[in-house]
Amino acid sequence: MIRVRNLSMSIHGVPVLRELSFDIARGEVFGLVGESGSGKSMTALALMRLLPDGSTVTGSAKLGEVDLMTGSEARICAIRGSRIGMIFQEPMTALNPVQTIGDQVAETLVIHGRTGRAEALRAARARLDRVGLPAAEFPLSRFPHELSGGQRQRVCIAMAIALRPDLLIADEPTTALDVSTQAQILDLLKGLVEEERMGLMLITHDLAVVAGMADRLAVMQKGEVVEQGATEDLFRNMRHPYTRQLFEASGHRPAQTAQAAGSGLLEVDKAVRDYSRRGRGLIRPAAPFRAVNRVSFEIGRGESLGLVGESGCGKSTLTRAILGLEPLQGGTITLDGERIQAGRAMPAHMRRKMQIVFQDPYGSFNPRWKVGHLVAEPFHLSDRPVDIAARVADALREVGLAPEDAQKYIHEFSGGQRQRIAIARALIMRPELIVLDEAVSALDVRVRAQILDLLADLRAAHGLAYLFISHDLNVVRAITDRVLVMKAGEIVEQGATETVLAAPSHPYTQQLIAASPVIPAQWRDEGGQHGRPLV
């Protein structure tokens, strides 16, 4: 149905796509996998002819008889939204905030001149029902800000399929969503493909997602398709080394020397964290929102503890209380037998024992400071040692960077290198506990595997304890000894990681595990024969 031949593209002379050729048939799910910067999103935008300024394209992409690369702009406008629909990664910003969802869905119909407004709104209603937004709860008059991320993505889907297009392009449609929501959205897409007999081009960085969804698969690297074929066949054979690297990295588990947890380090006892609701009332104060509800657990010296939960479950709030940044409303948290207090009340010698590494490698550093200065910032907690430069150099070396990097600014480093610098900053005070808040979530799989190795090595070398917060069960399995599952402010299950993940007892944990996409085990075994044993 769509035939792409020798499609190349460059932006201001820099090539971003090279000689792409692939077909997508009606009723087929075509997966496009690659790391960030591999050109997978550009491929989608090229098919939509929504190209950035200064780009030139060669080759062809034929939808039926129309060449999308050479058709007039007016002709392409008539195709966009009617024969090719597209949904994007970030549902929170993908909808016009000042227009109702009904109008936005109906606009697809109106703009293509199929119907009048009243008829379009009726059709919009039907489409919203189909994507799981029933009229009772989601009238057409709703505005985007009244919906959750998953619901907004459903609206986007309704918009994209309003005219029953031949092809739906989904660019990382679930990356910004929680696992359970991801599973629902993927189900919805799959159902639509079958029902409407449309083609789906699913772009993702997550091999497990395409493994469960795609009929055929193409792997992209640096603007090229390095390998494509039927999904199962491709996974079983993995002819291209890059595919194998991706595959291994996504299931990578650092070699861990089993460590017995030492004596108690951090003890959280019936911790309660309330938020007063902002914006309600001078007149009548609203009941506070309980973000963390009587949570209790322990971390032993040298132990790696996972904390799993979906967004809004209270894990970040709990973290801020542990770090002594925000006060508790009930219960206690003690570190080495001393009680943690928020703000200035917490003495420096206690703060020194805990450090943190964040998710976002870009927001974690003051862009105006040099790396040496950044890494040394925690020395604020002690008398500045005289050998500060040497200690910074040591820390950088330990995370695999060069001592000279101390003289550079942060923008000179890649995402993975920045995470190394963040780890160096956390290490420099020789803490007992490092909180890793989604520390590898923003990284590409291959970089993620390296950082996980680094974390495992450092833990072994320094007897560090980790509190590893993540939404990704695979990562938690790779790096933690024990795991806590958190939902709506409460710990619903805890235990040894392997046990909990293999035989979850709480329904919520079971649901989380069922929702997490996995590459089928039998493909994995055979794939593994080509590469390193996967532990």
Partner 1 sequence: MLRFAATRLLSLTLSLVAASLVIFTVIQVVPGDPASFMLGMNAQPETVAALREDLGLNAPLSARYLDWVGGMLSGDFGRSYTYRVPVAELIRDRLWVSLPLAVYALILSTVIAFPVGLIAAARRGKPADFTIMGATQLGIAVPNFWFAMLLVLFFAVNLRWFSAGGFPGWEAGLLPALKALTLPAVALALPQASILARVMRSALIETLGQDYIRTARAKGLNRRQALIRHALRNALIPVLTIIGLQFSFLLAGAIIIENVFYLPGLGRLIFQGITQRDLIVVESVVMLLVFAVIVVTFLVDIAYAVVDPRLRHRR
Partner 2 sequence: MRWPLPLILGAGLTLFFVAAAALSFVWVPHAITDLSIGDKLQPSSASYPLGTDHFGRDLLSMLMVGARTSIAVAVVAVGIGIAGGVPLGLAAAAHRGSLLDEVIMRGNDLIFAFPSLVIAILITAVLGPSALNAILAIGIFNIPVFARVARGGALSLWTLDFILAARVAGKGTARISAEHILPNIANLLIVQGTIQFSLGILAEAGLSYVGLGAQPPTASWGRMLADAQTMIYSAPRLAILPGLAIVLMVLGLNLMGDGLRDLLDPRVRRARS
| CB of residue 141 to partner 1, shortest distance in Å | 10
219 vs 395 by CB, closer to partner 2: 395
- Helix, strand, or coil (residue 168): strand
Question: Which one of partner 1, partner 2, none interacts with residue 98, CB within 5 to 8 A by kind?
Answer: partner 1
Q: Specify the residue, 126 or 496, whose C-beta has the smaller distance to partner 1.
A: 126
Closest separation in Å from C-beta 116 to partner 2: 42
Q: Which residue's CB is nearer to partner 1, number 78 or number 261? A: 78
From the list partner 1, partner 2, none, which binds 354 (C-beta under 5 to 8 Å, kind-based)? partner 2
Task: Report how far residue 101's alpha carbon sits from residue 213's, in angstroms, rounded to the nearest whole number.
Answer: 28
Q: In a 3-state reduction of DSSP, which class is residue 221?
A: strand
Nearer Cβ to partner 2 (422/501): 422
**Tokens 């390998």 — which residue?**
227
Residue 351 interacts, among partner 1, partner 2, none and using kind-specific CB cut-offs from 5 to 8 Å, with: partner 2
Task: Report the nearest approach of partner 1 to the CB of residue 145 (Å).
Answer: 5
In the complex, what is the shortest distance from the CB of residue 112 to partner 1, in angstroms, rounded to a whole number?
6
**Alpha helices per DSSP H over 11-81:** 40-48, 73-79
Closest contact distance (angstroms) between CB of 513 and partner 2 is 29
Collapsing DSSP to helix, strand or coil, 129 comes out as: helix
Q: What share of the chain is helix, strand, coil (3-state, %, to 5)?
A: 40, 25, 35
CA-to-CA distance for 237 and 526, rounded, in angstroms?
Answer: 8
Q: How far is the CB of 339 from partner 2 (least distance, A)?
A: 17
Question: Least Å distance between CB 320 and partner 1?
Answer: 25
Residue 220 to residues 36, 89, 255, Cα–Cα distance (Å) = 10, 18, 29
Rounded Cα distance, 299 and 473, in Å: 19
Measured from the CB of residue 24, what is the shortest distance to partner 2 in angstroms? 33
CA distance readout (Å), 38 to 173, 244, 287, 351, 469: 17, 16, 48, 41, 28
CB 476 within 8 A of CB 493: no
Name the residue nearer to partner 2 (CB basis): 212 or 324: 324
Q: What is residue 461's three-state secondary structure?
A: helix
CA gap 298, 385 in Å, rounded: 32
Least Å from the CB of residue 53 to partner 1? 9
Residue 407 near which of partner 2, partner 1, none (CB within 5-8 Å, type-dependent): none
- Residue 381 interacting entry, from partner 1, partner 2, none, C-beta within 5 to 8 Å by type: partner 2
Minimum distance between the CB of residue 95 and partner 1, rounded to whole angstroms? 6
Residue 367 binds which of partner 2, partner 1, none (CB < 5-8 A, kind-dependent): partner 2
Q: DSSP for 297-342?
A: EEEETT-EEEEE--TTSSHHHHHHHHTTSS--SEEEEEETTEEP-S
Number of C-beta neighbours around residue 232 at 10 A: 15
CA distance 47 to 62: 9
Rounded to whole angstroms, the Cα distance separating 490 from 95 reads 33
Strand 14-24 to 167-171 pairing = unpaired
Q: Is 19 helix (H, G, I), strand (E, B) or coil?
A: strand
Question: Residue 38 or residue 108: which is nearer to partner 1 going by CB?
Answer: 108
- 52 makes contact, choosing from partner 2, partner 1, none, with CB < 5 to 8 Å by partner type, with none
- Pick one of partner 2, partner 1, none as the site partner of residue 364 (Cβ within 5 to 8 A by kind): partner 2
Task: Count the alpha carbons within 13 Å of 139 in the hemisphere toward its beta carbon.
Answer: 2
Residues in contact with partner 2 by the rule CB under 8 A: 278, 323, 325, 344, 346, 348, 351, 354-356, 358-360, 363-368, 377-378, 380-381, 422, 425
Residue 378 binds: one of partner 2, partner 1, none (C-beta under 5 to 8 A by kind) = partner 2
Query: Which of the listed partners (partner 2, partner 1, none) does 77 bind, with a CB threshold of 5 to 8 Å by partner kind?
Result: partner 1
In this complex, which beta carbon is closest to partner 2, that of residue 325 or of residue 503?
A: 325
381 vs 488 by CB, closer to partner 2: 381
Residue 134 or 367: the one with the smaller Cβ distance to partner 2 is: 367
Please enumerate in sequence order all residues whose Cβ is within 8 A of that of 475, keeping only pairs 6 or more positions apart, or say none: 440, 441, 448, 452, 468
Binding site for partner 1 (CB under 8 A): 48, 50, 73-74, 77-82, 85-86, 88, 90, 93-99, 107-108, 111-112, 143, 145, 156, 159-160, 279-282
Q: Which two tokens stand for residue 176?
A: 């910004």
Residue nearer to partner 2 on the CB measure, 19 or 360 = 360
